[in-house]
Structure 1
Amino acid sequence: MDMLVVDLSRWQFAATAMYHFIFVPLTLGLSFMMAIMESVYVMTGREIWRKATLFWGTLFGVNFAMGVATGIVMEFQFGMNWSYYSHYVGDVFGAPLAIEGLMAFFLEATFVGLFFFGWDRMSKLGHLVVTWLVAFGANFSALWILIANGWMQNPVGAKFNPDTMRMEITDFAAVLFNTVAQAKFVHTVSAGYVSGAMFVLAISALFLVKGKHVELAKRSAVVAASFGLASALSVVVLGDESGYVATEHQKMKIAAIEASFHTEAAPAPWTVLAIPGADGEPIWSFSIPWMGGIITTRSLNEELEGIHELVDRAEDRIRTGVIAYEALQQIRADGTDTAARAVFDEHWADLGYGLLLKRYRADIENATDAEIAMAAADTVPDVWPLFWTFRIMMGLGFFFIAFFGLWFYRASRGWIDTNKPLLWLTVLLLPTPWIAIESGWFIAEFGRQPWVVEGVLPTFYAASSLNVLDLVLSLSFFVLLYTVLLVIMVILMVRIIKAGPKEKLFTPDDEDDFVITTLPATPATKELVS
C-alpha cells in the first residue's frame, strides 16, 4: 500500500470528522437546555421562557441541519476510502451504525420536526415531551456512534473467522457494554453540554453588554451557568474514568500521552511539563510525585509501563502473530486442516500484530529480526503532539469548572449584568469548548495509531487502493465544501442572533414567518420557499 495514499485517506477522514464534530456538541448541549427552558415555561406559564425556547431552538435547528449534512459523508467514506476496513470488520462495526441510523437518527429527526411545527398545535405538555425526546434522541444517536468507536479502541465481543476472512460478533452484549465505549459516551456528551452552555452564556453576555433582550438573556445566563458548572464537573470526573479505562486497554496511548519512555516504579509521578531532546525523549521535565499512579492506575503500588518496554512486548506479539498468519494460510489452502485451526485458535488474537509486517514485506513469515523490530517501533504514536494536546484539553477542562463556578456564584447573587469585562470575556471565550473537544478527538484517534482497530487491523492495511490524484481532489473538495457550509451556518446564526427572539417560529399559512428565522422576507425568498 502506498503510504501517501494512506496518509491522504487519513487526512480526508480527519477533516470531515473534525468538521462534523463542530456541530455535534452544540446539538447535544442546546437540546437539553431547550428542554430545561421549556420545562420552566410549562411550570410557570411565563412567556419569556417560551421566547427563550423558541430563540435557542431556532439556533439549534440550523446547527442540527448542518450536523446531518456533514455527518452523512463520513459513513460513505468507510466504503470509499477504507474498503478493506469495511470488509474486515464491517460485520461488527456496521451493527451499531445501522442501529444508529434506523433508530436514533429517525427518532431524533422526527421529533425535531414536531418541535418546530408543533407549536400552537400541541398542548404545552405534549410539546414539552417532544422537546425532551429531541434531547434524548440526540444523545441516543451519539451513544451508538460511540459504541462503534469504542469497539475500535477496545475490540471485544468479536473473533476473526478464518473461513470468511472477517471479524464477526460473538457477544453483542460485550460490544454494547464495552467499558471503553461507555466511558467515551458519558465523557463526550458531557463535553457537548459544556459547549452548549458556553454558547448560550456567550450569546446572553453579548445581549447584556449591548443592553438588548435583557430579560431573556438574564434567564438564559442563569440556566447556562448552572448547566455549565454541572457539565464541567462531569467532564473532568468522567474524563478521569476514560483515562483509567484507556490505561487498561491502550497502554501505549497512555505512555505516549505521558511521554513515559521508561517504566515508572510505583507510585509513578505525573509529568506536567517537559522539553523533548534530539532523540525524542525528554531532556527536562517537571513532575508531581505519585500523581501519575493515582491518575492512571488509581493505586500507589502499580507501575506505569513505558514506551520501550511496550515496544518489546509488541515485538513478542508480532512473532506470535506470524505464527497465526502461517496457520491462516494453511487453513485457506486446506479448510479441513484441524491442526492448523488449533494453532490459529491459540494465536489469532495476535494476528493484527503480525500484519504490521505487511508494511515491509508481503511474505511476513520470512520477516527478519530487523523488520520485526521496525514493525514493533511502529506501534509508538507521535509522542509530543499527544503530550501537549492532552495538557491543553485538561487545562481547559479545569478552567471551565472555575469559569462556570464564577458565573454560578454571580448568578446566585443576582450579579448577572454588573461586570462588563466579564461579559466581554465570556463572548471571547466562545470557541474554547470546541478547542478542548477537537483536542480530545485528536488524542483518541491519533493516539490509537498505527491501528484503525486496536491490535486487530493496522491503519495502512485498511485503506482502499486509490490513486493520489483522486484523493487530493476529493480532500480539496470536502474541505472547500465543509468550509462553505461552516461559513453559511455562522452567517445564519449571526443573522438570527441579530434579529433576536421572536414571538413564534412560523405558521404554514404565513411564508414571511417561515423565512424570517433565517432570511429576509423578499419576493425572491418567498419563491424559493414555495
Structure 2
Amino acid sequence: MYDSTVVELSRLQFALTAMYHFLFVPLTLGLSFMIAIMESVYVMTNKVVWRRMALFWGVLFGINFAMGVGTGLVMEFQFGMNWSYYSHYVGDIFGAPLAIEGLMAFFLEATFIGLFFFGWDRLSKVQHLTVTWLMALGTNLSALWILIANGWMQNPVGAVFNPDTMRMEVVDFAAVLFNPVAQAKFVHTVSAGYVTGAIFVMSISALYLLRGKHQDVARRSFAVAAAFGLLSSLSVVVLGDESGYAASEHQKMKLAAIEAMWETEAAPADFTAFGIPNQAEQKNHAEIKIPFMMGLIATRSFSEEIPGILELVERAEHRIRGGQIAYGALQRIRADKADTEARQVFERHWQDLGHGLLLKRYRDDIGNATPEQIAQAALDTVPRVAPLFWTFRIMAGLGFYLIAFFVVAFWYACRNNFEDKRGFLKVALWSLPAPWIAIECGWFVAEYGRQPWAVDGVLPTFYAASGLALYEILLTLVGFTLLYTVLLVVEVKLMLKAIGKGPDAVLPSLQAPASEPDRTGQAIAGHA
C-alpha cells in the first residue's frame, strides 16, 4: 500500500518545477534562431543595426538561458529524490537520452553561448555567425533528447522487463530514438518555442514603437518576428495534428479523455467543440459538435473508429487480469530462477504487468484481488476528463488566435505601415503571455492526460514515488516555491532592466573584429 498524500505532493512538486522550468525553454528555442537570422542579415549586408539587434536580443536570451539551466537542474535531481523507484525501474532507458543531452547537446549549447557573447571582437563575422547557428542548433538538440525521454514515458517502445533484474531494459535503442510520439512532440514543441520567441520580440518592439524609442531596431525586429511567427504558428497547427494522430495510435485513453468521448462513435467521429463533461454520469451536457472532424484529425480517414472511454476501460480490465498472471509468474521466478514454466508464462503476459500493478493501490497480494477491485483499477485508467477537455480547448483557441495575429502582423509588415497601427501595436504588447499560456496548457494535457501512469501502461504513478516522509515533501515543496518565486522576481527585474536600457546599451560592445577594422569602424561611425 502507499501514502496517497505523499504521492500527490510529489506530483505537485514535480509539476511546479517542470512547468516553471518550461517558462524559459520555449523562449530559448525561439530567440536562438531569431538571433541567428538577424546576425545572418548583418553578415550579408554589413549594416550595423542588425548587429545591434543580435546583441540586444542576445542579452535577453542569455538571461533567459541562465534561468532555464538553473531550474532544469532541479528537475533532474528530483528523479532520484522523489521518484526513486521510477529511476530504478526504468532508469536504464530514461537515463540514456538525458545523459546524451547533457554530454552532447547541453555542452554544445553552453560552449557556443559563451563564444557568442565573448567572441564578437575575437572572431571574424563568418566565424561568429557559425557560432550563433551552432548555439541555436544546440538548444534544439537539447530539446530533442529531453523529448525523446519524455516520449518514451508516453509510448514505451524498444524495451522489455527483465525478471532477473526487476527492471525495464533497452533492447532496441533505435526504436527509442525514432519513437513516433517523441518525434511528433519534438517538432510540435520546438515550433511552439519559435512562436514564443516571435511574440516576445514583437511585443517588445511594439513597446518601443509606441514610445517612439529605438525605432531602427524595433522596426526591423517587428518585421522579422512577423514573418518568423507566421511560419511558426502555421507549423504548430500542422505538427499538432501529427501529435493528435500519434495519440490516436499510441495513447487512446488520453485522446478519448481530451475529447470527452465516453462511448465509441460510428466512424468518422464528431469533434466536440463545446460541452460540459460529467465524469460521474459518464456523459456530456450541452454538447456542440462538428460532424466528422475528430475522425479526420485523429485517424485521417472516414472509416476508422476512435474507441470511447468505456470501451477502453473494458480493455484495461482484461489487461489487469493478464497482469495478475504476469505478477504471479514473476513471483515464482523470484523464488526459483530455474522455473522455465513460469518464465514462459511471464513471457506471454509481461506486457500486462503494469496494469496488474494498478491493483497495488488496493491490496499487496494482487493475485487475490476481487472483481470489484479489478473493476475499480480499470476505472483508474481514466484521467479526470473535464480539466483535459477544457485545457486542450484553451490551448487550441490560443493557437488559432496567434495564427490570426501573425497574419495581420505580416500583412502590415509587408505594407510597411505597422508603425501607424497603434491599436495593433497595443494588441501585440498585450499578447505577450498568450504563447506561454498555450504551452503550459499543452504540457498539462500531455502529462495529466497520461495519468495514472508514470510510464504509460508500464509503471503506475503511485508505484513510482519514493518512500519519503510527509514532512520531507512539504519542506522541499515550500522551499522550491519560495526559491522559484525569488528567481522569478530576479528574472523579471533583469529583463525589465535590459529592456529599459534598450539596444543602445550594447553600443560600447560594438568594437570591430581585428580582421575588418576599417569597414566596421566606418559603419559604426556613420551610424552614430
Give the counterpart of 1:381 among 374, 380, 383.
383
Q: Given the alignment, which residue of 407, 416, 419 partners 1:417?
A: 419
Q: RMSD in angstroms over aligned alpha carbons?
A: 1.1
Name 1:178's counterpart in structure 2: 179
Question: Are 2:277 and 2:385, in contact at CA under 8 Å, matched by a contact in 1?
Answer: no
C-alpha deviation, 1:91, in angstroms: 0.3
SS at match of 1:305: coil
Alpha-carbon distance change, 503 to 10 in structure 1, aligned in 2, over 3 angstroms: closer
**Amino acid in the other structure paired with 2:120:** W
Tell whether the 8 Å contact from 2:223 to 2:413 is kept in structure 1 after alignment.
yes
Question: Where does residue 322 of structure 1 map in the other structure?
Answer: 324
Aligned CA distance change for structure 1 residues 506 and 480 (closer, same or farther; 3 Å): farther
Alignment of structure 1 residues 477-488 onto 2, 5 Å: 477-488=479-490
Q: How does 1:494-513 map to 2 (within 5 A)?
A: 494-501=496-503, 502-504=505-507, 506=509
Deviation string, structure 1 residues 216-268 (Cα, Å, up to 9, x no partner): 10000000000000000000000000011011001000000000000011111
SS in 1 for 2:316: helix
Q: Distance in 2 between matches of 1:288 and 1:266?
A: 13
Alpha carbons 1:54, 1:504 under 8 Å: kept: no
Q: Which position in structure 2 is the counterpart of 1:23?
A: 24
Question: What SS does the corresponding residue of 1:262 show, helix, strand or coil?
Answer: coil
Higher alpha-carbon deviation: 143-152 or 409-418: 409-418
1:302-317 alignment runs, 5 A limit: 302-317=304-319
Corresponding residue of 1:197: 198
Q: For 1:145 and 1:451, how far apart are their aligned partners in 2?
A: 19
Aligned to 1:284: 286
**Alpha-carbon contact 2:194-2:232 (below 8 Å) kept:** yes
Q: What do the CA deviations read for 1:135-177 (whole angstroms, capped 9, x no partner)?
A: 0000000000000000000000000000000000000000000
CA distance in 2: counterparts of 1:506 and 1:172, whole angstroms: 46
Q: Quick one: which amino acid aligns to residue 247 of structure 2?
A: A
Query: Which consecutive unaligned segments of at least 5 residues does structure 1 have?
Result: 509-530
Kept after mapping to 2: 8 A contact 1:393/1:439: yes
Instruction: State how far apart, in whole Å, the 1-side matches of 2:234 and 2:485 are.
Output: 33
SS of the aligned residue for 2:133 comes to helix
Residue matched to 2:91: 90
User: Which of 396, 403, 406 is the matching residue for 2:405?
Assistant: 403
Q: Secondary structure at the match of 2:318?
A: helix
Give runs of aligned pairs for residues 204-223 of structure 1, distance below 5 A. Answer: 204-223=205-224
SS at match of 2:286: strand
Deviation at 1:276, TM superposition (A): 3.2
Cα separation, 2, equivalents of 1:297 and 1:261: 18
Q: Which residue of 1 aligns with 2:225?
A: 224
Aligned to 1:518: none
TM-superposed CA distance for 1:28, in Å, is 0.2
Distance 1:503 1:358, change over 3 A: closer
Counterpart of 1:38 in structure 2 is: 39
Secondary structure at the aligned position of 2:126 is classed as helix
Query: How many residues were matched structurally?
Result: 508
Query: How far apart, CA to CA, are the structure 2 residues paired with 1:245 and 1:113?
Result: 38
The residue matched to 1:106 in structure 2 has which SS?
helix
The unaligned stretches of length 5 or more in structure 2 are: 512-528
For 1:51-450, list aligned pairs within 5 A: 51-277=52-278, 279-450=281-452
- CA drift of 1:81 comes to 0.1
Is the CA contact (8 Å cut-off) linking 1:276 and 1:284 kept in structure 2?
no
8 A Cα contact 2:276 2:386, kept in partner: no
Partner Cα separation in structure 2 for residue 287 and residue 48 of structure 1: 51
> TM-score by structure 2 length?
0.95
Q: CA deviation at 1:503?
A: 3.9
Residue identity opposite 2:457 in structure 1? G
Amino acid at match of 2:382: V
In 2, distance between residues paired with 1:348 and 1:506?
Answer: 62
Counterpart secondary structure, 1:465 = coil
* Offset of residue 279 of structure 1: 2.3
- Over 3 Å counting, the alpha-carbon distance change for 1:505 and 1:138 in structure 2 is farther
Which residue identity is paired with 1:160?
F
Quote the Cα distance in structure 1 between the aligned partners of 2:274 and 2:384.
17
CA distance in 2, matches of 1:389, 1:123: 48
Shift of 1:505: 6.5
User: C-alpha displacement at 1:507, in angstroms?
Assistant: 9.8
Within 2, Cα distance between the matches of 1:417 and 1:405?
16
Letter of the aligned partner of 2:337 in structure 1? G
Which digits, 9 at most, give the CA deviation of each residue in 1:455-512, with x for residues without a partner? 000000000001111111111111111111111111001000110113447599xxxx
